[in-house]
Chains A and B, each alone.
Chain A
Amino acid sequence: MKNTAIEVKFIAIGVSAGGFEVLNTLVTQLPADFSLPIAIVQHRSADSSGYLAEHLDISAKIKVKDVFDKEPISPGIVYLAPPDYHLLIERGFFFSLSRDDKVNFSRPSIDVLFESAADIYRQACLAIILTGKNHDGAMGLAKIVATGGTAIVQNPGSAQASEMPIAAIKKVPTASVYTLSQITAYLITLNKNQKK
């Protein structure tokens, strides 16, 4: 694992088809003292309710919530892009939402989150692409790497849907390719190193 990981200040995750299960596994394993902010774009239908955040919040040891517009980014919270809104990062470290056109047929779009996170956090940004059936996130991941950030992609062979990881790896061949349990272990180590 890269030792630059210690500089990470923000984690962005993009996930689509099969997301509920992987998020459930990943988020519930994060320790209560997890001290980095995590923002997640999970593709979901425009009229889905706040169920995903509520469910994860109950099962996880750390707080999970849907984002409100202009919400300040706090450490140790998992933020979900609300259905039908793009999630962006603003200068001054808070979120903003937008209902602009869909990107890659998606709103929220992973590319939108990743591109704005790259702009603000630059080398301090870690971005992760998990299971999914489309190509959203690949462009954004390329931008994360171009601005000096770290890219991780779920091993397509171990992902429920492999298209999205494959597209991401194709666009960013330098990305680290890990299984879900390796990704979880990586985040936990990252958190430990954070405190030293």
Chain B
Amino acid sequence: MELTEIAEIEIDTLLDAIRRRYDYDFSNYARSSLKRRINGLLIKEKLDMPYQLIPRILYDEEVFNRFLSELSVTVTELYREPEFFLNLVESIFPVLNTYPYFKIWHAGCATGEEAYSLAVLLKEAGLLSRAKIYATDYNNKSIDIAKQGIYSAENIKAGNKGYLKAGGKHSFSDYYTDHHGAIKFDDELKNSITFAYHNLVKDGVFGEMNLIICRNVFIYFDTELQNYVLNLFNESAISKGFLCLGNKETIRFSILKDKFDTLSEGNSIYRKKD
């Protein structure tokens, strides 16, 4: 057997240990990026081989927490890919407007920027009071940050640009106040979003959604897990509900592709069929 094949066994064993000890299942995460991140952690922990992580992770929950942070990369920003938000405002908001009351789910919301970005636009469109917004992630640390609604001034500078490109009509500064050199989103926005823990790998449907936004999360999953989560979204969406993935994520290669119509190829916006 070649060394690289043996290394695969090591990784499988490590993932199995994590699943049984902490109930987090990474076996269907895209393997190559998973391996890079395990290597990143090995360097930080000053270890050479994945198997050396096994006893550390089994007996020291802190090491596992570091593993989890390493795996749940939380790069996100306000109005990431503003054209996507503009697309939502122009094509999806008019449909949401036909409902007396509607639900939105941000799955894999990380530290919350995406959810606040959308809440601001909903408010401008006069839709916020009719929206019930859930934003979930399996990283509790990120959820805690999201709940605060406090972001650094640099974040806001980029956010302001994105807000304008996304079709923002007022001034972005109308929606937050200064907070010790950082900014804090207004309570109205904060209170409109329910941030909660949810693991897409094992937690189920929790409501009938008009709009599901899961951006830049599928890239971490292999095709099998993507299919599984897509099925979860299909079950969670109302008939004619919308699904949005990241710009380079697509349902085109999935066995569930026929369950949805494509509204925007470039912005990966789909609509559940009847």
Give A residues with C-beta under 8 Å from B. 66-72, 82, 85-86, 88-92, 94, 96-101, 112, 115-116, 119-120, 122, 147
Chain A residue contacts of B32, Cβ below 8 A: 88-91, 96, 116, 119-120
Please give the distance in Å from A110's CB to the nearest CB on chain B: 14
A and B contact pairs by CB, cutoff 8 A, 17 listed: A66-B248, A67-B248, A68-B252, A69-B250, A70-B30, A88-B32, A88-B33, A90-B222, A91-B32, A96-B219, A97-B219, A99-B75, A100-B75, A101-B73, A101-B75, A116-B32, A122-B4
Chain B residue contacts of A71, Cβ below 8 A: 253
Chain B residue contacts of A97, Cβ below 8 A: 219, 248
User: Are A68 and B249 touching (Cβ within 8 A)?
Assistant: yes
Among B31, B75, B222, the most chain A Cβ lie within 10 Å of the Cβ of B31
Q: Mark B234-274, 1 if CB is under 8 A from A, else 0.
A: 00000000000010111011000000000000000000000
Among B35, B216, B222, B223, point to the contact of A99 (Cβ < 8 A). Answer: B216
Among B32, B33, B216, the most chain A Cβ lie within 10 Å of the Cβ of B32
User: Are A90 and B31 touching (Cβ within 8 A)?
Assistant: yes
CA distance A68 to B249 in the complex (A): 6
Give B residues with C-beta under 8 Å from A. 4, 30-33, 35-37, 73, 75, 216, 218-220, 222-223, 226, 246, 248-250, 252-253
Instruction: Provide the main secondary structure of the chain A interface.
Output: mixed
CA distance A86 to B37 in the complex (A): 13
Chain A residue contacts of B246, Cβ below 8 A: 69
CA distance A88 to B220 in the complex (A): 11
Among A68, A92, A122, the most chain B Cβ lie within 10 Å of the Cβ of A68
Among B35, B73, B216, B223, point to the contact of A70 (Cβ < 8 A). Answer: B223
Please give the distance in Å from A20's CB to the nearest CB on chain B: 21
Please give the distance in Å from B144's CB to the nearest CB on chain A: 22
User: Are B220 and A98 touching (Cβ within 8 A)?
Assistant: yes
Chain A residue contacts of B220, Cβ below 8 A: 98
Contacts A90-B222, A98-B219, A100-B36 given; does A70 touch B253 at CB 8 Å: yes
User: Are B222 and A68 touching (Cβ within 8 A)?
Assistant: no
Please give the distance in Å from A161's CB to the nearest CB on chain B: 27
Chain A residue contacts of B218, Cβ below 8 A: 69-70
Please give the distance in Å from A140's CB to the nearest CB on chain B: 12
Closest to B76 in A: A99
